[in-house]
Amino acid sequence: MLDFDAMAIRVVNADRHALELVGVLDAEDGAQYADMAAPEEYSTSRRILKGETILVHDAERELDPKRAGDRGSSRGGGGPS
């Protein structure tokens, strides 16, 4: 069983300078998601660009609250808007 409060799917765009929002699943219907986000807003971006698959078990512990995207993800807000 998978249980998410919210989930956003982003892909690296062709120029590799932005993360483009592809889809959103949000159980609360309250989160706001920016259409584009800078990779620097997420601590996982460098690993993803290398092709690594990342599974975050505890967002508050594993993500960097100094980064806007990580702050939004750990609050369930999906990152910067």
In the prediction, which pLDDT does 66 show? Answer: 92
Total domain count for the chain?
1
Within 13 Å, how many C-alpha atoms sit on residue 76's CB side?
A: 10
Is the residue at 80 inside a domain?
Answer: no
* Distance (Å, whole) CA 32 – CA 11: 17
Is 63 a residue whose pLDDT tops 80?
yes
Is the residue at 1 inside a domain?
Answer: no
* Distance (Å, whole) CA 21 – CA 79: 11
Domain housing 40: 6-75
Q: What is the pTM of this model?
A: 0.61
In the prediction, which pLDDT does 29 show? Answer: 59
Q: What is the pLDDT of residues 4-47, one digit of tens each?
A: 666 778 888 888 788 888 877 765 655 566 677 888 888 988 88
71 backbone dihedrals φ, ψ, rounded to 5°: -60, -45
Confidence at 80, pLDDT banded by 50, 70, 90: very low
Is the residue at 29 inside a domain?
Answer: yes
